[in-house]
Amino acid sequence: MTSIKQPKPAAILDRDGVLNYDDNYVGHPEKIRWMPNAAKAVKRLNDAGYHVFVFTNQSGVARGYFTEAELNTLLDWMRSELAKDGARIDDVRYCPHHPSGTVEGYLEDHPWRKPKPGMILDLMQHWPVITKGSFVIGDRDSDIEAATAAHLPGFLFAGGDLDAFVADILKGQISLR
């Protein structure tokens, strides 16, 4: 079966503080506390015809709190947990680097680290993204700054029901058309 990636707008979500609570350097499945209705929100975006991407700073790797392999295991686990509820994350970008880390090989001031837009730009290079209608959700100013630098609207999420927040965004997007 050939899979042709359809051009679609993208919903680009931060991880910590959006899909799950930001409990500081979450590197293992047992530390994940899901945001209320996280899977419903992702499924809503799938069903509305968006690519759903995650972009996440993970300096815990550079700081030696968890390895990149552990991070990948966690991200795979999160995607499979969401999939149980019919929710699909199409792709993930993470930035393991931090200039004040301690782990050799991860100490670069990397262009993917938010507030820089590198992760968003990389996703948009690898997928057929329709810019109009695309947006970012994050819980920090650095998420919104990354969105702005990539010329996308950014919505600041304060926590709570993620699906209700996404539903409101989609209503606004529809009314803009």
20 versus 67: smaller Cβ distance to Mg ion: 20
Catalytic positions: 14, 16
Binders of Mg ion in range 46-85 (CB under 5 A): none
Q: State the minimum distance, in angstroms, from the CB of residue 6 to Mg ion.
A: 29
Handedness of CA 39, 44, 50, 55 (dihedral sign): negative
Question: Three-state SS for 154?
Answer: strand
Of 8, 12, 13, 14, the one binding Mg ion by CB under 5 A:
14
Site for Mg ion in 124-143 (CB under 5 A): 139
Shortest reach from residue 142's CB to Mg ion, in Å: 8
Q: Among all chains, which residue has been given the structure tokens 């996280």?
A: 38
Neighbours of 26 (CB within 10 A): 23
Among 8, 9, 17, 37, binds Mg ion (CB under 5 A): 17
Beta strands per DSSP E along the chain: 10-13, 51-57, 91-95, 135-138, 154-156
Rg (CA), the chain: 16
Among 8, 10, 12, 16, binds Mg ion (CB under 5 A): 16
Site residues (CB under 5 A) for Mg ion? 14, 16-17, 139
